[in-house]
Every structure is written in structure tokens, then in C-alpha cells.
A and B are shown apart, each in its own frame.
Chain A
Amino acid sequence: MRKFKSINKFTRTGIISYLLVILGFAIIFPLQQLGLINHSLSGQLVPICTYIVMALSLNLTVGFLGELSLGHAGFVSVGAFSGVIAAAGLQDKIAFEPLRLLIAVIIGGICAGIVGLIIGVPVLRLRGDYLAIVTLAFGEIIKNIINCLYVGVDKSGLHISMNDVKSLGMENGKIILNGPQGAVGIDQISSFTAGVILILFALFIILNLVNSKSGRAVMAIRDNRIAAESVGINISKYKLIAFITSSVLAGMAGVVYAMNYSTIVAKKFDFNTSILILVFVVLGGMGNIVGTIIATVVLYMLPELLREFSDFRMLIYAVILIVVMLLTNNEKVKLILSNTTGKLLSKSGKIIKWKGSADNG
């Protein structure tokens, strides 16, 4: 145990989060295969995995870079729809499903990354609430554009139009994206295993980034922008690195999420979804990777567990959200918590200061 404590903090977080995910998979996967998990829960597995990745990637922007983004669902949306289009386009060419999913995920990630670059370059110059409102606006713009997009595929390749299905000009083609009705007839090739692999991949990328020279630069910018700039850190470059990594991962999560359903509409990835992901991050603790994973699982399951209260469940969810925020920011509660954690840890000879989940915003 003492040996475990002596490992540096980042490696420890890494080990804990990898173990958490692998353990979760090792328990749930056999149960699922044996059919011991009820239908509604087993339908939630892929969404939970993808929401974890979305929350982890948003944590990179909000927790490590310290910039509030209210349009994260926009990147998820770009990834989801480009991935769906790619998978549909490759359906005849690649028969092996996992490979097709992999290529779709990569394409989705690249597309989301490109959008992240286009948005990031001008926007990251803005600060604080202005950055938040611009990301919000971008999320809405992406939703609106995808809502008007028609894409179909036939022998001669992809057809894209902004008007209607007829203007695609296809012969015997298949419609992939049908404007406001969203993507239709998606080949459901994503699985729980794919979701878990994606989480591990996201953890690998984020942990390595955070624990690298670039990651330390990113956190230096968060803690004090002016001081960071004065020691020669290129602010725009590192901000952009974090922002694009975050959008690529979000896009990948979007692909796995979309491929779990037969149809998906652009409205699914609206402002409320962005907020939902942000809530996962803030309650899990900004900059806290293990916390984000746990918060996402608990908060995603919460409305499901409250299902017996049917009409009241979103109400209870809202109340829990408010109460948790009030409690974690209450001085007295903080004091009690720091005392108890302090006592627990002092037995092992080490006292660390307890930090509220959201007090460093």
C-alpha cells in the first residue's frame, strides 16, 4: 500500500481509472452474455460508455484547459453523422463489422477534429463567458445545418444536398441522412466491447496528454494565463491542442453512440445534451478523471433508477443537482468532510486537503 502511494499522482490516477473500467467490463460483460441483465439496462450500456468518453473529453476542455464549453454536443454530432455516413458508404466494401466501425470511428474523429480546428482558431482568443456563449452558438449552428442536410449513396458515390431528397439525383440509391428526420436505417454495429475499448483509448490519450510537457503547459495556462505567457508558453498552440483533442474524442464517442441506434436525429445533440455532459464533468470534479467516470455512470443511471417515480423523476434529478451543488459549496459541509477525510488519512500518516468537487471554477 505504501508503495502504491509513493507512485506519482498521475500514474496512480491512470492505474485507478484503467482498473475501474476493466473491472466494470469484467463484471458486466459475462452477466450480459448470460442474459442476467434486464433488457432496459443492457440497452443503456453503449450510451453509458459513450457518455463517459464525452464527459472525459469535455473534462479536458473544462477541467484541464479551464475554458467553459457549452457546445460539446456539437462535436459529438459532427462525429456521429460523419461516422454514420462513412459506415453506410463502406457497407458493401468492408464486410467485417468491427473494421467498418473502426474506420467510421476514425473518420468521425477526424471530421470532429477539423470542425474543432475551424472553431478553435478564432474562438479561443475569447475569454470566459464569451467563449462559453460562442461554443453554445456553434453547437446550435451545427445542429441546424445537419437538420437541413440530405445525404444519399448509390453506385456513383455520395450525394449531398441542402434542399430535399429529390435534389440528390440518385438512381436506386439509399438515403443515409434525411434532413429533419435524421440518419435513417443505420447498421447497428457498435457494441459494449467497442464502447469499453473507446473509453480505454480516451483514457490513454487524455492521461498521456495531461502527463506530458504539453499537458503541463495547458494546466499552467488554466492556473495563470499571464504567468504562463510570460515564461514563453505559446498560449494559442496549447489551447488548440487541448481543444482539438477534446473534439476528436467527442466525435469518436458520437460515432459509437449513433451506431447503437437504427435512427438518430440532429436534435438529439442539442444544448441540453451539452449541458448534461457538463453536469457530469462538474459533479465528477473538474480535472478529476476517476470522478468523471463515476459521476457519469451514477447520473446517467439515476433517471433510470427513478423510473418508478415516472413523472417525478426529472424533478427529483433537478432537485438532486441543486442540492449537491449547494452542499459541495457549503463551508460547514466542506469543513466536516475535510475533517473526516483528514482523520482517515492521518492514520496512514498522510493528510491531504479535501477539495470540493467544483470549487476551483
Chain B
Amino acid sequence: MTFLSNLINGISLGSVYAIIALGYTMVYGIAKMLNFAHGDVIMVGAYASYCTMIYLGWHPLLSILFSIVVCTLLGVIIEAFAYKPLRRAGSLAVLITAIGVSYLLQNVALLIWGSTPKVFTSVVNFEPLSFFGGKLTITAESIVTVLACIVIMICLTLFTQKTKIGKAMRAVSEDKDAAELMGINVNTTISITFAVGSALAAVAGVLLCSSYPTLVPTTGSMPGIKAFTAAVFGGIGSIPGAMLGGILLGIIEIFSKSYISTSLSDAIVFAVLILVLLIKPTGILGKKITEKV
């Protein structure tokens, strides 16, 4: 029974990673950059939801919507001010700028909310489900997280496959110059990608803090790094890959926590990642890119 409950916890944590990883993977696929500030957008989303719920007494659903709006705007603003001027610069310059943005967000949050942890009240207020006479309980947060993840996955697949903007995104990620020649506005497409990724980050932030309720300015950084490894794990640039990578990473983390060692669980997660990359260097679902000489 512990196995089953661990598995469910793992899938639930993995779903959060998957939602964050989707943001990483979409931005990487289109702008070919590692957006290190993504983890901190999660933190901002969680704070936005926390403030409206606690200080203004808003309904949880309304607060989630508010936090989605805040993060979407934040994502677009960051892209416009920090990343757009560097479109033609080397990848390292963009990476360092992203790190700068990440420090900036953390320190602004530190100035506004201070370093004392805030206790996040869960946005889900159902009773936990109980099976087999109380032997197996599944928290409502887990169920909502997994459901949210599935819904997001379906919506995102439909969005990228069926809509015009989605097609533009795929075209830009395939070949920026060719897409531009076909009349696609590359800059707008990249902005929209950032908006979608950041909106997902807001959802991830609220879900993450509902399950793990301590909220500090650095809340987003570790899940951010892990979600990023999840994106690489599944094959960066691939949406189903991010999903698979996130969920696998969550399961591995929870299992190594409960069966091997709590303090070594991060080491085990990263060791598995390295093994996967050594065996299949482009990640589980990544495409193999042949090089032209």
C-alpha cells in the first residue's frame, strides 16, 4: 500500500514538474534559450495567488486567474526588455541575462514579502479520498494536480497542432528564417510562447505551494532546476517529452526519498538524469539532429 501511495505522490509531484517543464521546453524549442528566470516566475505566481487570497479574501479560483494574468504579463515584459535585445547575441550572453533576471525577481520578492516563510493555504478544499478502509489516502491536491496536468497537456497539444498560432510556433522552432519568409511574425510568436509558458508557471506555482505550503522568495529555484532537468530528460523541445520527463522525475524523487535516503534523493534524481543522457544523449523522446559539414 505504501508503494501505491508513493506512486501517487510521485505522479502528483511529477505533474507539477511537467507543467513547469512545458514552459522550459516551449521556450527552448522556439527561442533556443535556457530561461533560468522561469523558476522565479513560479514563485511570483504563488505570491500573487497568496496575497489575493489572504489580504483581499478572494475566492481561490479567482486568485489563480489573477496569478495567471500577473505571470503572463511578467513573462511578456521580461521577454521584451531582457531577451528581445539579445536575439542575435550568443547563447551565453542570453543565459547570463536570464540569471540576472532570476536574481532580480528573487530580490524584488525579498524586498516586498521579506524572508520569513509564508504559509500557503491550499487552493483545494475537498476532503482527501480514502480507499481500502483508510489504508490508502489520496489528498485532494494530488488529484487536482494530476487532473490539471492532463487538461493542460491536452489543451497544449490541440493548441500547437490545430491553431494558427500553434502552427506558427512549430514553424519558428523548425526554422526561424524560413518562417519569417512565409510571413510569420517571429517576434510576436516568441512573445506568445513566453506568455503561454509563464501562464503555465503560474498554475504550477499555485499547485506546488498547495502541496508544499512554505512560500519564500527562493521557492521556485529548486523546482525550476528540476523541471529543467525533466525537460532535458524527456528530450528538450518536445512537449510530450517534457510531460514524460516531469512525471518520471517526480516518481524517481518520491521513491528514492522513501526507499533509499531522504537527503540523497536529489543526488539520485540527477544521477538517473546523467545515466539517461549518457545512453541516449538527446533525452527519451528527443529528436536526433544530424550535423551537416
Contact = CB atoms under 8 A, between A and B. Distances in A.
B100 A136 contact: no
Interface in A107-145: 122-123, 125-127, 129-130, 132-134, 136-138, 140-141, 144-145
B89 interface: yes
B270 A141 contact: yes
B140 to A, nearest CB: 32
A130 B281 contact: yes
Interface string A274-288: 010011001100100
A358 B92 contact: yes
Interface string B249-293: 000000000000101101100110110011001100000000101
Contacts of B291: 226
A325 B96 contact: yes
B90 A360 contact: yes
Contacts of B95: 68
Contact of B277 (A130, A148, A315): A130
B93 A329 contact: yes
Contact of A282 (B88, B93, B261, B266): B93
Given A68-B92, A282-B96, A329-B86, A271 B225 contact: yes
Interface in A304-348: 311-312, 314-315, 317-319, 321-322, 325-326, 328-330
Contacts of B93: 282, 325, 328-329, 358-359, 361
Contacts of A178: none
A317 B89 CA distance: 22
A62 B236 CA distance: 22
Nearest to B271: A141
Nearest to A145: B267
Given A144-B264, A359-B93, A326 B277 contact: no
Nearest to B85: A326
Nearest to B90: A361
B34 interface: yes
B75 to A, nearest CB: 16
Nearest to B103: A318
A81 to B, nearest CB: 15
Contacts of A360: 90
A111 to B, nearest CB: 18
B91 interface: yes
A147 interface: yes
B215 interface: no
Interface residues of A, number: 48
Interface stretch (B104-112, B166-174, B181-189): B104-112
A129 B291 CA distance: 16
B228 interface: yes
B137 interface: no
B53 interface: no
Contact of B34 (A129, A141, A271, A286): A129
A180 B261 CA distance: 14
B111 A325 contact: no
B69 interface: no
Contacts, number: 128
B263 to A, nearest CB: 5
B147 interface: no
B107 A133 contact: no
B267 to A, nearest CB: 4
Contacts of B108: 315
Nearest to B97: A325
Nearest to B82: A322
* Residue of A125, A141, A271 with most partner-chain B CB within 10 A: A141
A127 B291 CA distance: 12
Contact of A144 (B100, B232, B266): B266
Nearest to B102: A318
B111 A312 contact: yes
Interface in B7-54: 28, 34
A130 B232 contact: yes
Interface string B214-256: 0000000000010011001000100000000000000000000
A319 B86 CA distance: 16
B261 A359 contact: no
B99 interface: yes
A318 B278 contact: no
A278 B100 CA distance: 12
Given A145-B267, A226-B293, A282-B92, A325 B281 contact: no
Given A279-B99, A315-B107, A325 B225 contact: no
B71 interface: no
Contact of A137 (B85, B92, B229, B236): B229
Contacts of A283: 96
B101 interface: yes
B72 to A, nearest CB: 21
Interface of B: 28, 34, 82, 85-86, 88-93, 95-97, 99-101, 103-104, 107-108, 110-111, 225, 228-229, 232, 236, 261, 263-264, 266-267, 270-271, 273-274, 277-278, 281-282, 291, 293
10 contacts: A122-B274, A129-B236, A130-B277, A133-B229, A134-B277, A147-B263, A148-B263, A275-B99, A282-B96, A319-B104
Q: Which 7 A-B pairs have the closest CB atoms?
A: A361-B90, A361-B92, A137-B270, A144-B267, A321-B100, A318-B103, A318-B104
Given A134-B274, A314-B110, A318-B104, 9 more contacts: A62-B92, A123-B278, A125-B278, A133-B229, A133-B277, A136-B229, A282-B92, A314-B103, A361-B92
